[in-house]
Amino acid sequence: MVECDFPECTTFGAVVRFSIELEKGAAGIYEELAKNPKAASGATLFKELAELHKKRMASVENMRQQKLNEMILEPIQDMKRELYLIDTKVPAGADAKAGAQFVMKVEETSSRFYVDAAKIAKMIMAEGSRFMDKLGKENLAIKARLAAL
Amino acid sequence: MALLTEVQKNYGKLKNYVNGEWVDSTTDKWLDIENPSTGATIGQVPMSTADETKAAIEAANEAWWTWRETPPIARARLFFKLKELMEQHFENVARIMVQEQGKTIDEARGETRRAIENVEVAAGIPSLMMGYNLEDGAAEGIDEDAIISPLGVFGAICPFNFPAMIPFWFWPYAVATGNTYLVKPSSQVPLTMNYLTKIVEQAGFPPGILNVVNGSHEVSDTMMEHPKVKGISFVGSTPVAKYIYKHSAENGKRVQAQGGAKNSLVIMPDANLDRTVANMLASYYGCAGQRCLAGSNMIAVGNVADPLLKKWLEGTRKIKMGYGLDESVNMGPVVSAKAKKKVIEYIDGAEKQGAKVLIDGRKAVVPGYEKGHFVGPTVIDGVTPDMTIANEEVFGPVVSFMRMESMDDAIEFIHKSPFGNAASIYTQSGKSARDFRYRVQCGNIGINVGIVAAMAYFPFAGYKDSFFGDLHGQGQDAIKFFTDRKVVITRWY
């Protein structure tokens, strides 16, 4: 199980940290599912999605490094941490379908997080907002692929 | 949320960087470097001697001519390399800055980005320092050229509030244009520049091109008095800036000396209050108010005062203080116990003069960081133009709330200030914004922007007692400051 450390979303940096933790958590779940013999029928997709979430994590880190500047460090007060926490403990003995059902909840929560973060970021950093909006939509596309498994 | 990891717990005794070597200082005077959030000692910095400073200047001068002969495009390549290395070390630079300065990790990341942006601009030096010419410019058959040339050794004396960005306002432009350089970092925050210098070394800059000598007045005075130093850049308080300007000029140097500030943010009745408050929170409380561009006076015009103050108090109460390596923290401590004492004295003084402290940060304590130099966000209402706190630089997270009848009153008040660093207006009216921009005598004007921090390709400095000199930092002004124009008139028979 991947340990995630989700912060209170009180700054833009904390929102970015939250998103990094979400991506790390999701990548860890997919890796665990990909190694699980009982979920072998989904292994190829799970491996692909683990890599995708790692790439997304790197993109988020890159966005923070390249785009954050001191003019946009406005306090953030409207995102409640509790609404976006994900469970990273994959149910024991889950087969591909059960694994997919489990991780679809993660994708759904992530999507909600990104949609809400994009709304807040819109007033602070337009590029960051567009980026998060894109990630949120991608979460839903991933969820649809998992549903078809 | 766990704290981000510190790069090192303790950085030991710092060395100077002279002629491409890391050298121990022979001084017997050392200062502790303190983490202002925890109170822990995280290293020692030498108060280097005049002789050590002279050795660095001689090394820079020795390296100068060869460096001047290095083609600009070759010099630029080193800056491209440096940029890449700074990106790789980005997070370490930011975290060291949090450790020694106290700002939040986001603020430190923003500052690291600013330092990199100056490197990026300096990397364009082949285009930036081109001269100009005119065929038949002198007479028929006689052409005239203006060539832009470097001058020799320059130096910077740096403050504590931006340990990475401020040295990088200067040295990349000086070195890219073909000069050599000596940086004296603030003795309160020398670790960031120490780390960055290792990156500069790794990038492959030849020995003697960039030198770093740690210390205090002895180093600064030697830099200002040495005949081989051509110019000095300084950022700090106004009294010191005046001294640096005068003393350097007496010794025949070019000088750009940036001083203190007292920035007023004017809020008009038609301002978008939600957006204004969110934006201003970053201005007044960012870097714990220790920015020369920080908001200090908040001037509410007309009937906006009461609704503005209500929202402002709500926003202020939500500011989370703590160690900047906690990513959810909005504001860190001020830099030292001395700085904290000074800020508290200003709040005490305002109270004695009749102002009312609505939110009081004087006794703020952050659990787990009892030895940190925290001053909570403070809001003082009823500040009038004659009060000390309305006129002097506090350099802390303190808001002086003032009420005025009209924008004209606000501009008149701003004009009476000896400072002229920055001023902002919050309005939805283009006419008000245009009037404000046109009339206010400050070097940096914000329109619905509370931190008017010029990007690397724009010049940065204030007016009046906020700046002594003519050519500003960064941008084209930096190129001009570090070069001279040589006119060549050519006639062939």
Residue-wise pLDDT for B451-488, tens only, equals: 999 999 999 999 999 999 999 999 999 999 999 999 99
What's the mean per-residue pLDDT of chain B?
97
**Residues in CB range of B29: below 8 A, 6 or more apart:** B46, B47
B305 in the same domain as B249 = no
Q: Which residues of B touch A68 (CB under 8 A)?
A: 106, 109-110, 113
* Of A11, A65, A75, Cβ closest to residue B327: A11
| Strands (DSSP E) found in B360-430 | 378-381, 398-404, 419-420, 422-426
B109 in the same domain as B52 = yes
| Average pLDDT of the segment spanning A131-144 | 96
B239 in the same domain as B304 = no
Q: What is the pLDDT of residue A74?
A: 74
Query: How many beta carbons lie within 10 A of that of residue B219, not counting itself?
Result: 25
Chain B residues 263-292 within an 8 A CB cutoff of chain A? 275, 278-279, 281-282, 286-287
B277 in the same domain as B250 = no
Number of domains in chain B: 2
Structure confidence at residue B375 as a pLDDT band (50, 70, 90):
very high
Q: Of A26, A27, A25, A47, which is closest to residue A36 (Cα–Cα)?
A: A47
Min Cα separation A72/chain B (Å): 8
Q: Tell me, yes or no, whether B164 lies in a domain.
A: yes
B185 in the same domain as B150 = yes
Instruction: Answer positive or negative: Cα dihedral of B284, B286, B290, B291.
Output: negative
Structure confidence at residue A118 as a pLDDT band (50, 70, 90):
very high
Q: Using CA atoms, how far apart are residues A120 and A123, in angstroms rounded to an integer?
A: 6
B351 in the Ramachandran plot: left (φ > 0), alpha (ψ -120 to 50) or beta? alpha
Q: Of B321, B376, B449, B375, which is closest to residue A10 (Cα–Cα)?
A: B321
Q: What is the pLDDT of residue A101?
A: 96
pLDDT tens digits along A75-113:
787 889 999 999 999 998 899 999 999 999 999 999 999
Q: What is the pLDDT of residue A73?
A: 65
Q: Where are the domains of chain A?
A: 12-147
Out of B158, B287, B292, B442, the active site residue is B292
| Average pLDDT of the segment spanning B41-63 | 98
B338 in the same domain as B246 = no
Instruction: Answer positive or negative: Cα dihedral of B188, B192, B195, B199.
Output: negative
Q: Tell me, yes or no, whether B90 lies in a domain.
A: yes
What CATH number is attached to the domain comprising B147? 3.40.605.10
B290 in the same domain as B219 = no
B54 in the same domain as B179 = yes
Q: Using CA atoms, how far apart are residues B353 and B351, in angstroms rounded to an integer?
A: 5
* Of B1, B90, B107, Cβ closest to residue A70: B107
Q: What is the pLDDT of residue A11?
A: 86
Give the tokens for residue B487.
Answer: 């006119």
Decide: helix, strand or coil at residue B134.
Answer: strand
Q: At what angle do helices B105-122 and B90-101 cross, to 10 degrees?
A: 130
Q: State yes or no: is B442 an active-site residue.
A: no
Q: Using CA atoms, how far apart are residues B178 and B369, in angstroms rounded to an integer?
A: 46
The string of DSSP letters for A19-43 reads HHHHHHHHHHHHHHHHH-GGGGGGH
CA atoms within 13 Å, Cβ hemisphere of A77: 14
B269 in the same domain as B251 = no
Structure confidence at residue A12 as a pLDDT band (50, 70, 90):
confident
Q: Which residue of A has its CA nearest to B87?
A: A65
B19 in the Ramachandran plot: left (φ > 0), alpha (ψ -120 to 50) or beta? left
Structure confidence at residue A72 as a pLDDT band (50, 70, 90):
low
Q: Tell me, yes or no, whether B459 lies in a domain.
A: no
A77 in the Ramachandran plot: left (φ > 0), alpha (ψ -120 to 50) or beta? alpha
Q: Tell me, yes or no, whether B10 lies in a domain.
A: no
Q: Of B294, B375, B288, B281, which is closest to residue B331 (Cα–Cα)?
A: B288
Q: Tell me, yes or no, whether B1 lies in a domain.
A: no
Q: Which residues of B touch A6 (CB under 8 A)?
A: 1
CATH fold of A12-147 reads: Ferritin (1.20.1260)
Q: Which residues of A touch B451 (CB under 8 A)?
A: 70-71
Q: Tell me, yes or no, whether B8 lies in a domain.
A: no
Test A73 with B453 for CB contact under 8 angstroms.
no
**Residues in CB range of B329: below 8 A, 6 or more apart:** A10, A11, B104, B320, B321, B322, B323
B328 in the same domain as B395 = yes
Q: What is the pLDDT of residue A43?
A: 96
Q: B108 lies in which domain range?
A: 16-259+466-491
What dihedral angle (degrees, nearest 10) is formed by the CA atoms of A30, A34, A35, A37? 130
What does the angle CA A31 – CA A37 – CA A43 come to, to the nearest 5 degrees?
45
B76 in the same domain as B171 = yes
B319 in the same domain as B212 = no
Calculate Rg over the CA atoms of chain B.
Answer: 23
User: Across chain B, how many H-helices and E-strands are there?
Assistant: 16, 22
Q: Which residue of A has its CA nearest to B449?
A: A71
Q: Using CA atoms, how far apart are residues A113 and A116, in angstroms rounded to an integer?
A: 5
Q: Tell me, yes or no, whether B364 lies in a domain.
A: yes
Q: Which residue of B has its CA nearest to A12?
A: B106
| Average pLDDT of the segment spanning A50-57 | 98
Q: Using CA atoms, how far apart are residues B332 and B288, in angstroms rounded to an integer?
A: 6
Q: What is the pLDDT of residue A71?
A: 54
Q: Which residue type, as a one-letter code, is found at position B458?
A: F
Q: Which residue has the tokens 């679809």?
A: A104
pLDDT at residue A67 tops 90 = no
What CATH number is attached to the domain comprising B303? 3.40.309.10
Beta carbons of B481 and B231 less than 8 angstroms apart: yes
Q: Tell me, yes or no, whether B7 lies in a domain.
A: no
pLDDT tens digits along B251-286:
999 999 999 999 999 999 999 999 999 899 999 999
Q: What is the pLDDT of residue A13?
A: 87
Q: Which residues of B touch A120 (CB under 8 A)?
A: none
Q: Which residue type, as a one-letter code, is found at position A48?
A: E
Query: How many beta carbons lie within 10 A of that of residue B367, not counting itself?
Result: 6
